[in-house]
Amino acid sequence: MKKSREYINSLKKGNEREHLSYEDEPLKDLNDDEPLPEHATRHFFKVFLIIFISVVLVVAWANIDKLTPDNISHWIEYDLLGKNEGEGYPASFSGADVCTDNFDLMDGAPVYCTETSVAVLNPNAGKYQSFSHAFANPALSANSNYSMIYNIGATGYTIINRNSIVRSDSAENNIFCGDICPDGIYCLLTKNDNYLGKLTAYRADGLEMYTYSFADFYVNRVSINRNGSRAVVSGISAKNGGLLSAIYVLDFSQSSYMQKYEFDDVYIYDIKYLDNGNAVAVADKAAYYIDIGKGSKKNIDYHSRFITGYDLNRQNGMIMSLSAKPDGRECDIMMVNAEGDVLSEIFTSRKIISADYSNGNTTVLFDDGEMTVYNSKGKKLSSVVLSTDARKVKISDKRIYVLGKSNLYCIRQENDGELRIENKNSDKNK
């Protein structure tokens, strides 16, 4: 017993603690209020900092194309930190009209211009930004990083990125058309007192870098290349009582035009400088592929059909809706890739309102509100029925945005290929 008491006393002194039970030690002595050693705290934060920086660098590398000086703050706020406010689709713009030409995508985000305002939406229908304008006849030109809104027949224009206004300015003369490249270099076609039109190219900071005046054609459309060093311009004139159209290829380092192509009895609706360095044009009687490297053009025949709609895409080429009837019924879809080859033709025998394509798949919007996705061989993959007021379709990764008369719809492409209409009202009721 004496030996046992001595052992217990030695344990209470704390010098020779061995297998101490809770019964042998007061409860207050079991609480560990000692702070972490200073070197352990430093080590913890050092490891945390290394992990955090590594994650940021990996995410930054995956989004390197977005890290321009103008949108890096937006990328951190919305993409890295996940800010994504909004009530969900469909997004309403009641009381304001959106022309189909004034609806597009900017880095996958829907951007539209009404008669009085401009808005850029996030994936949850919240607004990256929204502002009013006073343009009587607004037009929109969009690319991956920037959009330009200009006032046709007047001098004003505004340049935006996804979350802010970059520049608001005025041209010297009334604007016919404008375009902007992903680097922020932009150009305007304007009226000129001494010529039939003038092209002016500007650096991203707004300083003039190039001009070209047109003496033979009234210019109406312009498209700038990806790095802002060249542009293609279309124009119209008269010849022997008939119509004559032309496409100019301009290099901003040369005082004269680089190439020029003329088209008898043809009216060119639109042109686009492709990212591969060539260009496409869509006209009333045929479409055209301009191989700028070879200095040649290729006709893409409509085969006696009437063009009812089209979409030109810098990465993919062009897609056209062609009808066997003058009233636009019984439409077919023709897809032309960025190399100028007819990728496929899809025969629908229905009236088509709008079409777009990406990664070989075509999304078609019919006049009864049905939206259908086809593969490159014309096989129907999936379809969904929308409102009959649907007017234009644009594809963004696994989302498809559809412009209606007073709403902007979002359709999600699921992994199994099915389409799901996002509906904030039904989602709230779940």
Task: Tell me: pLDDT of 358 over 90.
Answer: no
Q: Which residues contact 136 (CB under 8 A, 6 or more apart)?
A: 151, 153, 154
Question: With 0-12 CB in 10 A as exposed, 13-18 as middle and 19+ as buried, what is 155?
Answer: middle
CB atoms within 10 A of CB 387: 15
Give the separation between CA 405 and CA 97, rounded to whole angstroms: 7
CA angle, 149 as apex, 147 and 150 as ends, to 5°?
140
| Of 86-95, 150-159, 350-359, the least confident | 86-95
- Determine the average pLDDT of the residues in 145-154: 97
Task: Tell me: pLDDT of 33 over 50.
Answer: yes
Percent of the chain with pLDDT over 70: 81
**Structure tokens, 200:** 């002016």
CB 371 within 8 A of CB 348: no
Selected residue with higher pLDDT from 12 and 288:
288
Task: Tell me: pLDDT of 386 over 80.
Answer: yes
For residue 116, which amino acid is it? T
Task: Tell me: pLDDT of 398 over 90.
Answer: no
Question: With 0-12 CB in 10 A as exposed, 13-18 as middle and 19+ as buried, what is 18?
Answer: exposed
Band of the pLDDT at 19, cuts 50, 70, 90? very low
Report pLDDT for 426.
64
Task: Tell me: pLDDT of 109 over 90.
Answer: yes
Give the separation between CA 334 and CA 77, rounded to whole angstroms: 41
Q: Which residues contact 416 (CB under 8 A, 6 or more apart)?
A: none
CB 36 within 8 A of CB 45: no
Task: Tell me: pLDDT of 292 over 50.
Answer: yes
Rg (Cα) of the chain, in Å, rounded?
A: 31
- Smallest Cα–Cα separation from 312: which of 332, 289, 295? 289
Report pLDDT for 23.
47
- Determine the average pLDDT of the residues in 409-418: 87
For every residue of 173-199, DSSP letters joined together read S-EEEEEE-TTS-EEEEE--TTSSEEE
| Of 79-88, 248-257, 353-362, 420-429, the least confident | 79-88
Which H/E stretch holds residue 43?
Answer: helix 38-62
Band of the pLDDT at 308, cuts 50, 70, 90? very high
Give the separation between CA 37 and CA 167, rounded to whole angstroms: 54
Band of the pLDDT at 68, cuts 50, 70, 90? low
Selected residue with higher pLDDT from 131 and 40:
131
Q: Which residues contact 285 (CB under 8 A, 6 or more apart)?
A: 265, 266, 302
Give the separation between CA 197 and CA 216, rounded to whole angstroms: 9
CB atoms within 10 A of CB 285: 14
Which H/E stretch holds residue 8?
Answer: helix 2-13
Task: Tell me: pLDDT of 63 over 90.
Answer: no
- Determine the average pLDDT of the residues in 176-200: 97
Band of the pLDDT at 416, cuts 50, 70, 90? confident
Task: Tell me: pLDDT of 113 over 70.
Answer: yes
Give the separation between CA 349 and CA 224, rounded to whole angstroms: 36
Selected residue with higher pLDDT from 426 and 280:
280
Percent of the chain with pLDDT over 90: 68
Task: Tell me: pLDDT of 31 over 70.
Answer: no
- Determine the average pLDDT of the residues in 183-199: 96
